[in-house]
Amino acid sequence: MLDVKVVRENTSRVEESLRKRNYGLSILDRFLKIENERRELLRLIEEKRGRRNKISEEIAKLKKGKKDVVLILAEAKDISDFITEKEERLKVLEEEARQELLIIPNIPHKSVPAGKDETENVEIRKWSASGGVPKEFDFPPLNHWDIAAMHDIIDFDRASKIAGARFSLMKGMGARLERALMNFMLDLNTSKGYKEILPPILVNRESMTGTGQLPKFEMELFKTADPEFYLIPTAEVPVTNIHRDEILNEGDLPIYYTAYTPCFRREAGSYGKDTRGLIRQHQFNKVEIVKFVKPEDSYNELEKLTNDAEDILQRLGLPYRVIALCTGDLGFSAAKTYDLEVWLPGQQRYREISSCSNFEDFQARRANIRFKREGKKGTEFVHTLNGSALAIGRTVVAILENYQQKDGSVVIPEALREYMGVEVIR
RNA sequence: GGAGGGGUGGCCGAGCGGUUGAAGGCGACGGUCUUGAAAAUCGUUUCCCGAUUAUAUCGGGACGUGAGUUCGAAUCUCACCCCCUCCGCCA
């Protein structure tokens, strides 16, 4: 959520933001129209309420002095009725203004490259164990689903019997690899000072609104019927909401969390995409990092967060590149985002495996997460950040495809062997 | 699922429908005292919105949430949410 003051007093900045993101300007116009009426009405009501308070005090005094109050009581009643009537309208306006404000996206940071869509994202750097470019295979590399089938470690057919399309059933070494990665990532993150969290994966509407999934992206979420809960699409939701409606001390910051959770996504509107394999699932596992920091630190923290996610790929020896999302591809709540894309030999292309974002105070304002500076009056909103470290299913894909051998066996990356108990899947 | 109890400031805990934004205590911060500390003692200590001659002042709002009664609600009524205890059920 943007600061109402910024929207009102710095409207051109918001206009520019919407243009760069390929949004229409109509939401802004609608908001301003409602907001202006709301402010005007509020001023009137506050004036009348002030008058009513004065009169009520007067009545109390008169009654104490055993004086007659019939006349003044009539005036009080009139003002009170007037206020009640106007307040009804004010409530409607407040709700409408809030609804409009909640669907206005965050303003991109000035360092975010301008661009219309994902084709204009900017590559920042590339890494591989052999220095930059991924190594060539001396045989035609297979897709991960073919490799998985050879070892019977992922069963897509039975998964669709049990649940449906876009679900997977991990078996034997496949299940073990998934578990090994989860432990490896959590151990590495916690060793760097991230506190491990195991949060609820069903959350309420307020939490989804706090991080920005609602009200705009209801279609992308799974939801239970009775009682009503939303299934989290990322651990970002429960973990960021840990501090919803709290005022933190300056000394508490920064706060670093890491959490493993399953994630659930409807994937509505992506019917044709990635129908085979593990890339796009309704349910997948992910280890997430979430930070709460002081505003002046957040961009430095974004670089560190991204580096921490990269570190996992490097330790696993997986080639990747870092992409800065352009304004047209930037997510709704984010002010700046780096995507990490891992190289998949089976597809001969890079695929997203992590997304690291600074939300500045956008989520903090929605979720009302503030902090108090030592020796200063008042409160400020914290800045929140998060990033995948990493998406586990896609890491499985990357390991199977990058570590496949000519005979179909898969070598386990050095760093993972203590978790896997074997050196090769054959 | 059944029965009962409760939600007040950073925490504990008062609060006959009318100077109660809220007693008292703890904590925290500042002063006095002290070589220093402790003790003692005095003082300060919630947040949001708006106006403005703008670290001051003024107005409005907030005692789980929402509605109602009333000139006036932390205080009365209703609904909902959350927490606790007992019984039942359950991994």
Confidence tier at A251 by pLDDT (50, 70, 90): confident
Looking at A192-297, list the stretches that DSSP marks H as alpha helix, in order from N- to C-terminal side: 205-211, 236-240
- Please confirm, yes or no, whether A52 is among the known catalytic residues: no
- Please confirm, yes or no, whether A394 is among the known catalytic residues: yes
Q: How far apart are CA A383 and CA A299, in angstroms?
A: 10
Domain match, A259 and A137 both: yes
Closest CA to A7 of A91, A106, A94, A89: A106
Residues whose CB is below 7 A of strand B: A 4-5, 39, 42-43, 46-47, 49-50, 52-57, 59-60, 63, 73, 76-77, 79-80, 91, 247, 370, 372, 377-379
Domain match, A148 and A90 both: no
Domain match, A173 and A269 both: yes
Helix (H) or strand (E) holding A304: helix A298-315
Residue A339 has pLDDT above 80, yes or no: yes
Provide the 3-class DSSP secondary structure of residue A3: coil
Q: What would the two tokens of residue A293 be?
A: 């920091």
- Please confirm, yes or no, whether A355 is among the known catalytic residues: yes
Domain that holds residue A214: 118-425
Chain B positions with any atom < 7 A from a protein CB? 10, 18-19, 47-50, 55-56, 59-61, 67, 71-72
Domain match, A62 and A192 both: no
The residue with tokens 């896997």 is: A420
Among A352, A380, A409, A417, the active-site one is A352
Q: Is residue A240 part of a domain?
A: yes
Residue A376 has pLDDT above 80, yes or no: no
Domain match, A93 and A131 both: no
Q: What would the two tokens of residue A311 be?
A: 């570190």
Query: What mean pLDDT do residues A212-239 have?
Result: 91
Q: What would the two tokens of residue A278 be?
A: 């593990």
ipTM of the complex: 0.85
- Total domain count for chain A? 2
Residue A266 φ/ψ, nearest 5 degrees:
-65, -35
Q: How far apart are CA A398 and CA A8, in angstroms?
A: 47
The separation between CA A271 and the C-alpha centre of its own chain, rounded to angstroms, equals 23
Q: What is the pLDDT of residues A90-102, one digit of tens each?
A: 988 988 999 999 9
DSSP states of A312-359: HHHHTT--EEEEEPPTTT--SS-SEEEEEEEEETTTTEEEEEEEEEE-
Q: Is residue A108 part of a domain?
A: no
Q: What would the two tokens of residue A290 be?
A: 């979430």
Q: Is residue A411 part of a domain?
A: yes
A407-415's contacts with Cβ under 8 Å and 24+ in sequence apart are: A408/A142, A408/A147, A408/A150, A408/A151, A410/A147, A410/A151, A412/A177, A413/A315, A413/A316, A413/A317, A413/A318, A414/A317, A415/A184, A415/A315, A415/A316, A415/A317
Among A179, A280, A373, A417, the active-site one is A280
Q: How far apart are CA A223 and CA A216, in angstroms?
A: 15
Residue A177 has pLDDT above 80, yes or no: yes
Domain match, A378 and A294 both: yes
Q: Is residue A112 part of a domain?
A: no
- Residue A231's beta-bridge partner residues? A202
Tell me the residue length of chain A.
Answer: 426
Q: How far apart are CA A174 and CA A416, in angstroms?
A: 13
CATH number at residue A342: 3.30.930.10
Q: What is the pLDDT of residues A131-176, one digit of tens each?
A: 888 988 999 999 999 999 999 999 999 999 999 999 999 999 999 9
Domain match, A221 and A135 both: yes
- Please confirm, yes or no, whether A351 is among the known catalytic residues: no
Domain match, A282 and A215 both: yes
Domain match, A401 and A261 both: yes
